[in-house]
Amino acid sequence: MFGMTYLPYVIRIQLPGDSGDYIALHERMEELGCMRTIDTELGKFHLPHGEYFLSSPETFEMVGEHAKRIARELSPVGRPQVLVMQVLNWSFELEPVEKSVTGVNATSSEKFASGVEDELKEIELTGSLFESMRNEISSLGVLREDGLQELNEKLYKEIDDFRVIFYPNESRHPGRPHCKVEIGGKTANYDINTFEVLAGDVGKYHRTVAKVLRNHQSGLLKEWDDTRPTDQRLPTR
């Protein structure tokens, strides 16, 4: 990996028709390493719908082929539109990423609107639950297959890019609690009940992330359920 040059790309995909499966598209693009936000000196911002940012050592042609292949596979009828650009400079006016403050006497209807836009909205985990998870990840570092820490990477006092994200309205996964985890420049979606990876890959951090999710399962399940519309919430026992 040393000496490898990573190039910035912006990818725009429009699926044919009015009912394209953009949730599946987002998951497939995340597996490719794409993000739907950009980090700038002014903060973090959402990209427009169907647009992605990718930092990759792959060539322009390779990135384009990946994007076109994914778009075609999700377009059984009609022809998708795909645009891949290598970025040198940019000027923008975008919506900033707003961190969610949870547990402040807000009902689900007050926190989240219904409809397609909610399926695309990211709700970033904050508060004491997130701080506990981040502290545990910092103390564990990278775990080996036997569950022990790698001594050369034992302490990670600050992991600035660790995030846990929920989508508040996902009709594609009703009743299956899961979250997206970003760490080490990689992204993966995890089932909160089984801790299996649904999409993506966090590389060497997988065992650490799975252990931290397991240790915080009850809080994550409550957070997931609290962000559901009524028709997607878990059955009461």
Q: What is the CATH number of the domain that holds 65?
A: 3.30.70.2360
Are residues 117 and 76 part of one domain?
no
Assess whether 45 and 119 both reside in one domain: no
Q: In what order do the strands lie in the sheet with 51-56?
A: 51-56, 7-14, 81-86
* Within a domain: 20: yes
Query: Using one digit for the tens of pLDDT, what is the confidence trace for 167-219?
Result: 776 555 556 788 889 988 888 889 899 998 877 888 888 989 999 999 999 99
Whether 203 and 126 map to the same domain: the answer is yes
Residue 81 counted as domain residue: yes
Containing domain of residue 211, as a range?
A: 108-232
| Confidence (pLDDT) at 216 | 95
Alpha helices in the chain (DSSP H): 22-32, 60-73, 108-111, 116-120, 127-140, 206-215, 217-226
Burial of 85 (0-12, 13-18, 19+ CB in 10 A): middle
Structure tokens, 30 = 């995340």
Closest CA to 178 of 165, 167, 188, 192: 192
* Domain-terminating residue out of 32, 55, 86: 86
Last residue of a domain, one of 56, 86, 116: 86
What is the C-alpha to C-alpha distance for residues 188 and 206, in angstroms, rounded to an integer?
9
- The answer to whether residue 78 is domain-embedded is yes
Domain boundary among 86, 118, 147: 86
CA distance 152 to 206: 17
CA atoms within 13 A on the CB side of 68: 9
Is residue 181, in this structure, part of any structural domain at all? Answer: yes
45 and 117 inside one domain: no
Q: Can you say how many angstroms the Cα of residue 134 is from the centroid of all Cα atoms in its chain? A: 16
Report pLDDT for 107.
Answer: 35
Residue 14 lies in a domain: yes
Nearest to 171 by CA among 224, 221, 118: 118
Question: Is residue 115 included in any domain, yes or no?
Answer: yes
Q: Are residues 81 and 192 in the same domain?
A: no
Amino acid present at 21:
D
The per-residue pLDDT for range 3-18, each reduced to its tens digit, is: 446 788 999 999 987 6
Query: Are residues 126 and 43 part of one domain?
Result: no
123 and 11 in a single domain? The answer is no
CA distance linking residue 71 with residue 42, whole number of Å: 31
Domain count, the chain: 2
Residue-averaged pLDDT of the chain: 77
Asked if residue 221 and residue 123 are part of one domain, the reply reads yes
Co-location of 175 and 126 in the same domain: yes
**How confident is the model at residue 33, as a pLDDT?**
87
Residue 224 binned pLDDT confidence (cut-offs 50, 70, 90)? confident
Residue pLDDT, tens place only, 90-119 = 788 888 886 433 333 333 333 333 333 444
Q: Is the confidence at residue 84, as pLDDT, over 80?
A: yes
Residues 62 and 141 occupy one common structural domain? no
Confidence (pLDDT) at 110 = 34
Examine the domain organization and report whether 76 and 120 are in the same domain: no
Is residue 15 within 8 A of residue 75, CB to CB? The reply is: yes
Residue/partner pairs of 220-225 with CB below 8 Å, 24 or more apart: 220/129, 220/164, 220/177, 220/179, 220/192, 221/177, 221/192, 221/193, 223/102, 223/125, 223/129, 223/166, 224/166, 224/177, 224/178, 224/179, 224/192, 225/177
